[in-house]
């Protein structure tokens, strides 16, 4: 097991002996904005391409609370801290200038960072030798946004949230429809330097919603962008920095070439994307067996990527009509019984979610490539959100759990990556 994952496990004892105290005066911003000297374009949802981008990372609602307010986004994030930023290259898209952009969430705008030419672009940094018509995305992490609250464990959330952002790209592309290719073997260090991140922000992955332009070879573009603050405040975390460096080189990667197949109504799915919310609790309502099967099928669809890692999915069946109570995986039961209270306890005693929901899920893996498998867990988690909400069920991601006790419960010794609950 990767040392970082092992040292950031939660236990009943660790939660109580190491309480998390927040430094509110150093609370980071969740928005990165480039200076006004960059050309910016406000997204117009009447334009098809702008609509596609907005449904990846747009703001969807405002929530007010005593002392402040915050905005909800298309993509979920642990603690609503949103550590990830979205960059992308556009080539050959009508109505858009060929170039490299940053998605500015706070203003629903895109900032042009650098123009590209017919024979130069970021394609080679993502492993392409020919020019790609369409979009090439890059997902980064401004890790202090998360480590401010979650300390050393924050790298896990940066990766999970990056997976959700990749899942948002996949979901928006389904409205076109277009398959998304996830790319983990990007040239991280070169790109980090070119974008001027100065070790406060890092690239984690890429994604392609593009097709090759036959006969058009392309070379790597080179530029140096000045540093732009992504969190306003910052405190270095050597543990997270070491974990990032050691997991940035991927080995023994296996490509996944089979595209996923989903069953959905396009209009209803579009409404689902925009209305996504995380539940704060359930009312012990049951789901049907048909709903359960639809959700499981969506999660088990392949993820097109250049470094596919296996994620094992365990479902605690609490309230599914015509299904026995128990722990379920790979189409069969491991054990029977009412484990709803145990699921709530394992999920850091979040009983309103994991005990009161219809099902609670735990993702585990023994993968070698940490960045790839954790982001895949986020992608699968996002599919769970979409499938559940499409069926008018609620969903909530749970990034905190008692790691070793989850292992004992599901009867394996793999890394526990994620927990989620679905219900009414």
Domains with residue ranges and CATH for the chain: 18-247 (3.40.109.10), 266-423 (3.40.109.10)
Question: Poorest-confidence range of 20-29, 47-56, 103-112, 414-423?
Answer: 20-29
Share of the chain residues as helix, strand and coil, in percent rounded to the nearest 5 = 35, 25, 40
Long-range pairs for 411-416: beta carbons < 8 A, 24 or more residues apart: 411/334, 412/312, 412/364, 413/1, 414/312, 414/364, 414/365, 414/366, 415/1, 415/2, 415/5, 415/364, 415/365, 415/366, 415/367, 415/373, 416/362, 416/363, 416/364
- Residue 83 has which token pair? 């550590």
Per the prediction, the chain carries an average pLDDT of: 96
**Alpha carbon distance 394, 421 (integer Å):** 8
Phi, then psi, of 302 in degrees rounded to 5: -65, 155
Q: What is the pLDDT of residues 50-106, one digit of tens each?
A: 999 999 999 987 776 666 677 889 999 999 999 999 999 999 999 999 999 999 999
Question: pLDDT tier at 15 (50, 70, 90 boundaries)?
Answer: very high
Q: What is the mean pLDDT of residues 178-198?
A: 97
DSSP 208-254: EEEEEEEEEE-EE----PPP--SSSS----HHHHHHHHHHSS--S--
DSSP 296-361: HHHHTS---BSS----EEEEEESSBTTS-SEEEETTEEEEES--HHHHHHHTTT-HHHHTTSSEEE
Task: Check residue 65 and give its pLDDT.
Answer: 66
Work out the number of other CB atoms within 10 angstroms of the CB of residue 243: 26
**Alpha carbon distance 106, 311 (integer Å):** 34
Q: What is the pLDDT of residues 206-217, one digit of tens each?
A: 999 999 999 999
Task: Check residue 411 and give its pLDDT.
Answer: 97
**Alpha carbon distance 242, 265 (integer Å):** 44
Q: Give the sign of the dihedral formed by CA 78, CA 84, CA 90, CA 95.
A: positive
Q: What is the mean pLDDT of residues 118-144?
A: 98
Positions of E strands within 92-240: 99-104, 109-115, 120-121, 130-141, 181-183, 202-217, 219-220
* Residue 171 CA, distance from chain mean position: 12
**Alpha carbon distance 234, 200 (integer Å):** 8
Q: What is the pLDDT of residues 298-352, one digit of tens each?
A: 999 999 999 999 999 999 999 999 999 999 999 999 999 999 999 999 999 999 9
Q: Compute the radius of gyration of the chain from its Cα atoms.
A: 21
Q: What is the pLDDT of residues 40-50, one digit of tens each?
A: 999 999 999 99
**Alpha carbon distance 235, 250 (integer Å):** 27
Instruction: Give, in order, the Cα–Cα distances in Å from 374 to each of 126, 292, 313.
Output: 19, 24, 13
- Closest-CA residue to 149 (of 7, 2, 19): 19
pLDDT at 377 over 70: yes
Residues in the chain: 424
Locus of tokens 């307010």: 69
Q: What percentage of the chain reaches a pLDDT higher than 70?
A: 99
pLDDT at 1 over 70: no
Q: What is the mean pLDDT of residues 150-162?
A: 98
């Amino acid at each position: 097991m990767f040392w970082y994952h092992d040292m950031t496990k939660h236990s009943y004892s660790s939660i109580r002996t190491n309480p998390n105290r927040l430094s509110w005066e150093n609370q980071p911003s969740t928005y990165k904005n480039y200076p006004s000297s960059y050309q910016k374009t406000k997204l117009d949802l009447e334009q098809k391409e702008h609509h596609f981008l907005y449904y990846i990372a747009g703001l969807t609602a405002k929530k007010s609370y005593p002392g402040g307010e915050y905005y909800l986004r298309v993509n979920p994030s642990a603690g609503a801290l949103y550590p990830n930023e979205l960059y992308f290259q556009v080539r050959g898209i009508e109505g858009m200038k060929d170039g490299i952009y940053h998605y500015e969430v706070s203003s629903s705008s895109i900032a042009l960072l650098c123009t590209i030419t017919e024979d130069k672009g970021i394609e080679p940094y993502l492993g392409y030798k020919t020019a790609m018509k369409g979009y090439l995305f890059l997902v980064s992490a401004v890790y202090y946004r998360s480590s401010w609250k979650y300390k050393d464990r924050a790298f896990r959330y940066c990766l999970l949230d990056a997976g959700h952002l990749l899942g948002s790209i996949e979901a928006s592309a389904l409205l076109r429809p277009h398959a998304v290719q996830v790319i983990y073997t990007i040239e991280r260090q070169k790109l980090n330097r070119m974008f001027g991140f100065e070790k406060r922000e890092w690239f984690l992955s890429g994604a392609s919603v593009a097709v090759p332009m036959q006969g058009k070879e392309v070379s790597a573009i080179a530029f140096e962008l000045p540093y732009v603050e992504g969190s306003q405040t910052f405190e270095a975390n050597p543990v997270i920095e070491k974990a990032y460096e050691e997991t940035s080189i991927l080995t023994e990667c296996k490509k996944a070439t089979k595209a996923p197949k989903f069953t959905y109504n396009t209009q209803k799915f579009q409404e689902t994307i925009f209305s996504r919310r995380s539940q704060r609790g359930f009312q012990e309502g049951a789901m049907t067996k048909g709903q359960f099967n639809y959700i499981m099928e969506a999660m088990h669809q392949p993820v097109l990527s250049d470094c596919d890692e296996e994620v094992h999915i365990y479902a605690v069946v609490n309230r599914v009509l015509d299904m026995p109570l128990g722990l379920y995986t790979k189409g069969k039961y491991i054990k029977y019984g009412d484990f709803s209270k145990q699921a709530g306890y394992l999920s850091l005693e979040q009983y309103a979610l994991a005990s009161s929901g219809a099902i609670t899920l735990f993702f585990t893996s023994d993968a070698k490539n940490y960045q790839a498998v954790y982001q895949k867990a986020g992608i699968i988690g996002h599919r769970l959100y979409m499938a559940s909400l499409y069926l008018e069920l609620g969903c909530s991601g749970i990034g905190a759990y008692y790691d070793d006790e989850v292992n004992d419960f599901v009867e394996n010794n793999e890394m526990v990556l994620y927990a989620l609950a679905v219900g009414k």
